[in-house]
Amino acid sequence: MGYDEGTAQRVRDVIGTAPGLSERHMFGGISFLIDGNMCCGVINHDLVVRVGPQQYDTALTEPHARAMDFTGRPLRGFVYIGPGGFSDESELEQWIARAARFVRTLPPKKKL
């Protein structure tokens, strides 16, 4: 699969130096984690956003959003956003903020 490095850099610029931030190659792309929980990422040219199960259906109604279904089954709580849905910085910032808000409600993952 891979990921668009330009989009990944845009995400880095927005997410900045959030406490507990790390990067990891996942799902064939790159993911940004907060306290060990996946927040967002980039697969191919798409943004991956973790909105959580309660905001999932609402997120799917947004322009350029679709279910994250790389295995053939939707991964509830995660959505793909096509490039048109984050073409301007304010859209990208809003998606990342939405994901970060949800992820910060989760308990930190214990380090192995």
Q: Domain holding 37: CATH number?
A: 3.90.1150.30
Residues of the chain where predicted confidence (pLDDT) is lower than 50 = none
Give dist(CA 14, CA 1) in Å, integer: 24
| pLDDT value of position 8 | 97
Q: Are 6 and 12 in contact (CB under 8 A)?
A: no
Q: Does residue 111 lie in a domain region?
A: no
Hey, what are 60's tokens?
Answer: 């799917």
The range of the structural domain enclosing residue 66 comes to 5-103
Residue 87 CA from chain centroid, whole number: 15
pLDDT score, position 1: 66
pLDDT of residue 35: 95
Domain count, the chain: 1
The whole-model pTM stands at 0.92
Tell me the per-residue pLDDT of 22-44, one tens digit each, with 9 for 90 and over: 999 988 899 999 999 999 999 99
